[in-house]
Every structure is written in structure tokens, then in C-alpha cells.
Chain A
Amino acid sequence: MQLFAEMFEKVDQTTGTNEKVAALVAYFQKAPLHDKVWATLLLRGRVKRSPLTSLRMRQVFQRLSGTPRWLMDECFSHVGDTGETLALLMNAGMLALDPKPKERSLNEWMTEELVGLRTLGDEDLDRRLLEIWNSAHPEHWFLINKLLTGSFRVGVSEKLVLKALSKVTGDSESVWHQWLMGKSDRDFEELLLTFQGQAPSKELLHAIPFCLASPLEESFFVNEKPEDYFAEWKWDGIRSQIIKKGDQIFIWSRGEEMVTEAFPEIAQMASTWAEDVILDGELLVWGEDKPRDFNDLQQRLGRKKLGPDILKKAPVSFMAYDLLHLNGEDFTALTLAERRTKLESFSGTRTHPRYRMSQLVEFTSWDQVKELQLQSRELGTEGLMLKNKHSLYVTGRKRGNWWKFKVQPYTLDAVLLYAQAGTGKRSNLFTDYTFALWHGDKLVPFAKAYSGLDNKEIEELDRWIRRNTLEKFGPVRSLKTHHVFEIAFEGIANSTRHKSGIAVRFPRILRWRRDKTVDAADKLEDAQKLIEAHV
């Protein structure tokens, strides 16, 4: 644990990426084999089960320390993290402890100490946690608590972990990426082999790291020539890859989640194909002539079992963008134009109703592209994709290959109604806001937003909130109605789950409208008009 704690501290206490990688490399060189696997899983947030819920850990602490419940709640809402709050309270002596630290490896913690806690009754759990805390070094309480609640996080990106692993073993970053893609603690034995240099063959049953697009920049239309680009509609579904090899079928989402089970009709479709393929595309719930609301798609994820009703109510289609492998042949090093020809000939022989190929949008000038983009919403898309014909299929967001030309978001001016302190980096600062629209002479909450203000504005608003709180409901404060903000969002739909009767997608703050008074904010009717306009 000492080694892991030192690495955590070093990574946490520098903002330099070189220093972070150096700390990771030093750790991977020294740590025992099993610890390396755990560390990799933890750094990538891939330990799926948490030994204990935050709530239960708080309850244990409260029982053992006799701290009033309301006081613990105040501390928690101030700090914004259970593990950290309890570590601070332990260090402050709020719980009578008698630490006799005993060094154990990360693996021992993960497989022996922090297991079997969920099933314990209160009394046994109290005793067990007391043992755990007493046997840990007080400097490690924070980490132990984070491991206990499964909320371990540290400021190190996926890329840096891959970089460090690559430096240690000599295998390339993308090979490591493939080895680790979609792997969680459930794949521990397999990962052990990988770290012992006996990785399973590099044969691809995993997705190829996705090629991503950058937001379009002003200079694009000046610097780039229309004849170098393909245009396609940008669909708002789940970007994913279908991998079919023999009778094995995998569907991977861009978030590295294996989602095969959530889309049985797509897996079924792929099983009818004679070819082995890797296809890049988008999962969409297709209505009559355009995709339905994103919410329909989201219902699919996060469900363990799909009933026949949902398969019927929200049938999913796959919109193919790119053909990456065909019968074992790798096309990723071909240009997009070459891959397009392959995709078109593959798609030409598909007959399944759930299969669609993304059509090229014809254009000859950038002005025409700008004109076409205005139709995006009507067609149920998010805008246009502009893809360089000469680009290869490369990992990540390599600038200049693919661009997204998104539609302007919807906007409404809304009144700040409630505020709540954030968590993590934004703990102890009011950053989670609820905004409201007028309905008659009442303000009805319609969106929550967490981002869009700069640090100065956040601090200014935080100070204002502290001085203008009307009432507190737990961590939420109701505020004087005074400030108006312009809220931007991507989608809007009717909803029975929301008080306002509408749901918006990706709401965020566009501007602080200091020039507007509360009466000048928009009405719920204005939001309704936006829905009617595109239905």
C-alpha cells in the first residue's frame, strides 16, 4: 500500500504530465505483479464492485463516533466526498482510534481486507471497519476510504496510464489500449497473464480505438478545399463498433462499454452476415423517416433484461459510417475515400431492415454546406460531419481529419432558483444550479446546469448565493430570484418525469445575463414552442 500511496501522492501533487508518467513508471517497475493489475484497474476506473456503499460507511462512522447525524451531513456537503470527509474527521480525532499500522500490499487490501463487507450486519461491520482503520496507516485513511466506497479517482488520463505501461514493457500504447479495452476486475486473471507478458493473441475482438472529430474552427472554411471533404449527417445516437468474427459478435460503445446485450436485434442482424467485419457506426432508434428522441435509446442501456415491449417500442438500427476490417483484412491504413468504396460495396448487398449506411451529402461549395447545415434539426440530426477524404482511421481526436459542424444550440433565458454545492474539484462551492421559467406568475424549474461559467463568475455567484439564501433544504438552497442566465441545450422533448413537463438535453450556461431582470426571463410557453417547431 505504501508504494501505491506514494504514487498516488506524486500524481496528485503535480500538474505536469511528465512527472505524472514518471511516477507511474516508477510504480509499475517496483510494484508486485498483482498490485500492478489492481493499480491499472483503479487508475482507469475499472473496478466495478465497491466493497461498501458511501451511505453505509457513514452510518458505521456515526454509530462508532456518536457524531450527530446533522453534523456529519454538514461536513459531507461541505467536503463533497464521503471517503475524504471521514478521513478528515478521523484525523481530527472525532473517532476514537488506536492505529497499529500493518503494511499490506494493494492486492491484499483488494482481495482479503476489503471484501465480504456488504453482507455483514451492522455490529460485525462496525467491528470490521474499526479493525480496518486501525490496521491502516493514518496517512492512508483517505485512500482506504476511497477504495472502500469504490470512488477512487486521481488526475491521470487514460493516455498517461497507457504511456507509462508502454514505457515499462516496450509494447506500444495502442497495443496496451487494445489489451485493456473493456477490461474490468472481472477479467483479473486474463490481465495477470497480460502483465506477465503472456497477453492473449493480439487478435481483435475488441473495438479499434475510435477515430474522433474536432469541433469546427472559424478558419476551416478559409483553409480547406471542398473537394477534399466528404459531408455526412451527424446523428445523435450511440457511436459504436460491431465486431463479427465467425460466430462471435461484439458491440462496443465509444465509452469502451460492451453493449452487445443491450442491442440483441443488432447482434442478431450481424449473425446473418457471411463476412467477418468491424464496422464503425451509430446506434439509433429509428422512427418513420428520422431517428427518435435520444431518451428512447438511453432506456436500453442500464437495463439488465430487455423485455419484448421495449424491443418493440424502441427498435434500434445501425447506421454504418466506416468499414474497418473485412474478412481479416485491415482497412484502417487506407484513406477514407478508399474505405468508402469498400463500405458502399459491402452495404450494397445488405438487405436487413436494421442496417443503414450513412449517405454522403452532396455539395460543391462551403456556402452550400452552410446552407445544408441549417436543415439539420428538421432531419433529426445534430449537424454535419466533414471528413477529409485522405484521412486514415487513427486513434482519437487527431486534428484536421474529421470535423463536426454542429447546429447552434437552443437557448432560453432562465432565472436562477436553487443552488447546491458541487463535489470533487467543486466541493465547498455552489456550482450546481437549477433554473426556472415563468409559468403565469410562478417560476417552474426546467433545467439543471453545472457548467458554462468561468472561475471568476463561479466565485462571484458563490458569494452572492451565500448572502442571498432564502431557505435550506438539506444541501440545496433556495435563492432570491434575481439573476438571469442564458441556458443553451441540444434537445428538448415532452416529459412526464419533470415538473415543467419538458426535458432538455445537455443544458449548460451560455451567458450570465446581467442586463436582464427577472421579469424579462422566458416563459414555459416559449419552451413549448421550441418542441412544437421541430416535431
Chain B
Amino acid sequence: MNVVELTNSGLYCAAGDFYIDPWRPVRDSIITHGHSDHARVGGELYHCTKTSEPILRHRLGADILLRAYDYGKPFKMKDATVSFHPAGHVLGSAQVRVEVNGEVWVISGDYKRSPDSSCEPFEVVPCDTFISEATFGLPVYAWPTSQAVAADIFKWWQEYKEGPSLLFAYAFGKTQRILSELGHLTDQTVYLHGSCETLTKIYRDQGIKMVPTKLVSDMPKEYKFNGDLVLAPPSGHRSSWMKRFKDPQTAFASGWMQIRGNRRRRGYERGFVLSDHADWKDLVSTIIQTGAKRVLLTHGNTDTLERYLREEKHIQAEPLATQFEGEAEA
């Protein structure tokens, strides 16, 4: 029996009459997390975790109809029993467990297993069918520890005093993770591009400890940022915003930075391998740990992971063509 199926509007659970991360406006949307390929405008009623609520209200509108739930607390949607479980991706991110007539499906959304002091840690949820992402579904992707990457970033920043160190990272999730990891190493102020501000505040309001931050735009015009770390979204790279800085060194924090060509193509001087998605071995081990007999792969390098699971691990794996995008490359 298919507890969840793919429709034109997205992943649909007929027994509960709701969608998970739909890409078209529907009545009931269960949202795994606030990234824009998972949480879209136009829905009538959103269901999400309590820590995700302020993020959704910020991104989709303060007046959206929304019901927030604790992690691990089951609730009924018609004939289905639903619960949220931490996905370790960003603050408030969840896997969705759906149980219908004793059959359990888990929809992972995006997830990672590396420790991250800015969000709830991933929890393995046993299930019959596991719907997984496969963004980094190739064995060349193997993440260094978060602490090692944070130490590299800190060293890179501290060794450059002649100008600002511009570190590009996604405004929601990655930025706060970096701010939080750096908090274990320093209490120096880090400067932010305007687009990171509100989300960083939402994280702080929910008790995530991070280094102190100030906005670039709040500094006097003549301030040089020499020796300072500045965080900005990738869209700021090589934009007119960058003209504000003299002699900057630049870096990008992303899982894609594992491949040298990706970094060189983007014109970043340094690449820090830091992703909010699972690497290859974590994808494989998570899938095995869930005990799922069947695995559906939504986005990323689905072909490779699918074949590997089938041929090497003898797990029934199939692709599921959603419109999720994983870690954007830009």
C-alpha cells in the first residue's frame, strides 16, 4: 500500500488528505523545514514543528494559518497518525512519520548526521518505507567534522589582517551554524549581510548560542573591516555589494566545495566543505538504520544511490521525481 504518493502538487497522503512540502497551493501542508523548495506560499493551513514556526512566518507571511507541534508528539490527520522527528538539517527541520493501518512511512525532507550546535540532532525513526534525499549521493562526498571546518574557517580569518574575510554561505541554516560553531572558538564580532539578519535573530530568540554579530550596513562608511569576518549569501559574491570591501579574501562554505573544480569555477579563493546534507556514508548508514524495506529517493544523485542500494545492499530502492533541489550550487 502506498501511504504517500507523488501527485502534480507534490507528495500526497490520501488516508490523511494532506501534502508534504507541496509545490502547489493545497489545503493541508505538512512542512519539513523552511527552505524555499520545501515551504512555499499559497497554502491554506501549514503544519510544522514549534521551532520552525517563526521561520515559516518570516518567510511565508506572519498571518499564515499554521499549527505547530512538538517533536515526537503524534497527531491525527483523518486516518493517518503523523509525528515530527528531528532531521538535523536546520533549526526546526523535521522528518515526517506517517502511520496508516500499522504501516509506517518516514519522509526525511533534507537531513544530515554531522553534529550541528545550531539545530536539533537527527533521530533515526524505524519505518517500512523511507523517503530520502540523495543530494550528495556519491562516495566522493565525505564531510570533515564540523569542528575541523570551524577551526579552518577561524584560522583563515585570523591569518588575514590586511582586509576583510568574506565568507559566503546560505542565509538560513549555514550562516547560523557557522556563527554557532565559531562561538566555541571566539567571542569576536562577526559582520552580517542584511539578508542574514532576521533569521539570525530568530535563532538567537530560540536560545541558539552564537558569536556576537553586527550588520555591515550599520557600520560607518569609512570603516574598513580589516581583519574582520563578514558573512553573506552567495548572491553577494561579485555583486555591487562587494565593492564596499577593499582587498577582501573570499571563501564559500558548501558541500560542493569538496570538488576542486566547483570552487575554481565559482571564483572563490577558498572552499570550506560544510554541508547541511548527509554525505554518502551517512546516507547509506541512515537508510540501513531505519530498517526500511523500501527506499524512495527524491533529489540529488538519486541514480547512483539507487543502484548502489539495490546491487550492493539488496534494498528495494526507486527514484521519486520531486521538485526539491537540495543544496543549490550557486
In the complex, chain B residues 223-268 whose Cβ is within 8 Å of any chain A Cβ: 249, 256, 258-262, 264-265, 267
* B264 & A425 in contact (Cβ 8 Å cutoff): yes
* A88 & B269 in contact (Cβ 8 Å cutoff): no
Closest CB-CB distance, B22 to chain A, in whole Å? Answer: 19
Q: Is the interface on chain A under 10, 10 to 19, 20 to 34, or 35 or more residues?
A: 20 to 34
CA distance A426 to B269 in the complex (A): 16
* B269 & A92 in contact (Cβ 8 Å cutoff): no
Name the A residues within 8 Å of B307 (CB-CB).
70-71
Q: Bits for A74-97, please: 1 = Cβ < 8 Å to B, else 0.
A: 110011110011001101111000
State the total of A-B contacts with C-beta under 8 angstroms: 74
**B59 in the interface (beta carbon within 8 A):** no
CA distance A153 to B260 in the complex (A): 12
Name the A residues within 8 Å of B262 (CB-CB).
427-428
* B269 & A75 in contact (Cβ 8 Å cutoff): no
* A88 & B265 in contact (Cβ 8 Å cutoff): no
Given A15-B267, A68-B312, A426-B265, A84:B138 Cβ within 8 A: no
Name the B residues within 8 Å of A12 (CB-CB).
260
Name the residue on A nearest B311 (C-beta).
A68
Closest CB-CB distance, A35 to chain B, in whole Å? Answer: 23
CA distance A68 to B309 in the complex (A): 12
Name the residue on B nearest A155 (C-beta).
B264
**A14 in the interface (beta carbon within 8 A):** yes
Given A13-B270, A15-B267, A74-B304, A88:B261 Cβ within 8 A: no
Partner of B142, one of A14, A84, A92, A459: A92
Name the A residues within 8 Å of B249 (CB-CB).
14
Q: Bits for B270-291, please: 1 = Cβ < 8 Å to A, else 0.
A: 1000000001110000000000
Name the residue on B nearest A88 (C-beta).
B140
Partner of B269, one of A13, A429, A455: A13
Name the residue on B nearest A462 (C-beta).
B329
CA distance A92 to B281 in the complex (A): 9
CA distance A74 to B302 in the complex (A): 12
CA distance A67 to B138 in the complex (A): 12
CA distance A88 to B139 in the complex (A): 8
Closest CB-CB distance, B193 to chain A, in whole Å? Answer: 21
Interface size on B, residues (CB 8 A): 29
* A423 & B261 in contact (Cβ 8 Å cutoff): yes
Name the A residues within 8 Å of B260 (CB-CB).
12, 81, 84
Name the residue on A nearest B238 (C-beta).
A455
* A428 & B142 in contact (Cβ 8 Å cutoff): no
Q: Bits for B303-326, please: 1 = Cβ < 8 Å to A, else 0.
A: 110011001100000000000000
* B304 & A424 in contact (Cβ 8 Å cutoff): no
Given A78-B140, A155-B264, A459-B330, A84:B259 Cβ within 8 A: yes
* B267 & A74 in contact (Cβ 8 Å cutoff): no
Name the residue on A nearest B262 (C-beta).
A428
CA distance A332 to B303 in the complex (A): 61
* B142 & A429 in contact (Cβ 8 Å cutoff): no
Which of B259, B261, B270, B304 has the most CB atoms of chain A within a 10 A radius of its CB?
Answer: B261
* A93 & B142 in contact (Cβ 8 Å cutoff): yes
Partner of A71, one of B256, B267, B308: B308
Partner of A427, one of B261, B304, B308: B261
CA distance A12 to B257 in the complex (A): 14
Partner of B261, one of A75, A91, A94, A426: A426
Name the A residues within 8 Å of B265 (CB-CB).
425-426, 429, 455
Closest CB-CB distance, B96 to chain A, in whole Å? Answer: 26
* B261 & A428 in contact (Cβ 8 Å cutoff): yes
CA distance A155 to B141 in the complex (A): 24
Name the B residues within 8 Å of A425 (CB-CB).
261, 264-265
Name the residue on A nearest B304 (C-beta).
A74
CA distance A93 to B329 in the complex (A): 25
* B312 & A92 in contact (Cβ 8 Å cutoff): no
Name the B residues within 8 Å of A88 (CB-CB).
140-142, 258-259
* A89 & B264 in contact (Cβ 8 Å cutoff): no
In the complex, chain A residues 10-65 whose Cβ is within 8 Å of any chain B Cβ: 12-15
Closest CB-CB distance, A20 to chain B, in whole Å? Answer: 11
Which of B265, B267, B280, B281 has the most CB atoms of chain A within a 10 A radius of its CB?
Answer: B265
Closest CB-CB distance, A422 to chain B, in whole Å? Answer: 8
Closest CB-CB distance, A13 to chain B, in whole Å? Answer: 5
Name the A residues within 8 Å of B279 (CB-CB).
92
A-B contact pairs, 26 of them (CB 8 A): A12-B260, A13-B269, A15-B267, A68-B311, A68-B312, A71-B304, A71-B307, A74-B301, A75-B140, A78-B138, A78-B140, A88-B259, A92-B139, A92-B279, A93-B281, A94-B139, A155-B264, A423-B261, A425-B261, A425-B265, A426-B261, A427-B262, A428-B256, A428-B261, A428-B262, A455-B265
Sorted nearest first, the 10 A-B pairs with minimum C-beta distance are A92-B142, A427-B261, A88-B140, A425-B265, A74-B304, A425-B264, A75-B140, A425-B261, A14-B269, A13-B269
Besides A68-B308, A70-B307, A459-B330, 8 more A-B contacts (Cβ < 8 Å) are: A15-B269, A71-B304, A78-B259, A79-B261, A84-B259, A93-B142, A425-B261, A427-B262
Partner-B contacts on A (CB < 8 A): 12-15, 67-68, 70-71, 74-75, 78-81, 84-85, 88-89, 91-94, 155, 423-429, 455, 459
Partner-A contacts on B (CB < 8 A): 138-142, 249, 256, 258-262, 264-265, 267, 269-270, 279-281, 301, 303-304, 307-308, 311-312, 329-330
